[in-house]
Amino acid sequence: MANKMKYAFVVNRNAGKGSAVKKWTALEARVAELFEDYSVVYDLAPIATDADVVVAVGGDGTVHYVVNHLMRDNRHAALGILPLGSGCDFARNFETDDALAVLARGETKAIDVGEIESAGNKMWFANVADAGMGAEVTRQMASHSRNYLFSTLKALVGYKNVDVRLSADGEEVYVGPLKCLVMANGKYFGDGMGIAPDAVLDDGLLQYVIIGDISRLMAAIKLQQTYKCTRIKHRHVYYGSARELCLEVSSALAFEADGELMAKMPAGESVYIRAIHHALNLVAEK
């Protein structure tokens, strides 16, 4: 029996190097059987604001686009995920064998959303944001290679640490050179790296991971260990959780969120990163 809620499927034709739209085409007949009232939009086309569920069809970048639409324009609608892209790290937090069946049941649970605020501007992320080397990896992938490991190694060679000051819930927690700062709502980034093993999607907190003054070689080794979704053990790697983080930098620092590059954070600017508790409903298995 078809679901009678109104669904909007947002299909990213660039996701998975174009493979996502081919997979979507193969699923369209089943979509028509499961959903009675639905629309389909492609790429960055406007999304209907009267939808009950907005489904990101693609990878993490598609999720990012949909979440920012929901937070700006359509807070009443639930977020759905049909992970067909090459990078689907957010979906790893709630993997299922049949995502369409889960979407059709329409059961939801409240999740947190990360918010980044700088110079009065706000944007949101579902999964993970990071500053420093992680953003450089994202730039390498966008410019040269879609292989995360290769891009990581290339970024490590050229990256120079930036001195930062980080506060968590108003208390200074780190001052010093930064290789990478991860701010995580979900556990995974970088195509399966369990960078934030203690992150929970609905606890009102972001887990932060500070990778400080660590050598390039050691960083490469330790980051590979995160595929086991365990904490990195190193004297210059620090973990914590907070409702709000405040980051100040000595020189321009690159940022990315859900695999999408942001404008560089200028020196002297303060960036606030916070968890918005239960900001959205996610269609997921109970």
Element at 250 (helix H, strand E) = none
Q: Per residue in 144-178, pLDDT tens?
A: 555 666 666 666 666 888 999 999 999 999 999 99
User: Which pLDDT value is given to residue 142?
Assistant: 63
- Could you give the CA distance from residue 207 to residue 190 in angstroms, rounded to a whole number? 16
CATH code at 121-278? 2.60.200.40
* Nearest Cα to Cα of residue 187 among 154, 136, 226: 226
Structure tokens at 240: 């914590």
pLDDT < 50 positions in the chain: none
Q: What is the pTM of this model?
A: 0.91
pLDDT of 160 reads 85
pLDDT value of residue 144: 58
CATH annotation of 3-106: 3.40.50.10330
Domain borders along the chain are 3-106, 121-278
Angle between helices 133-143 and 148-158 (to 10 degrees): 120
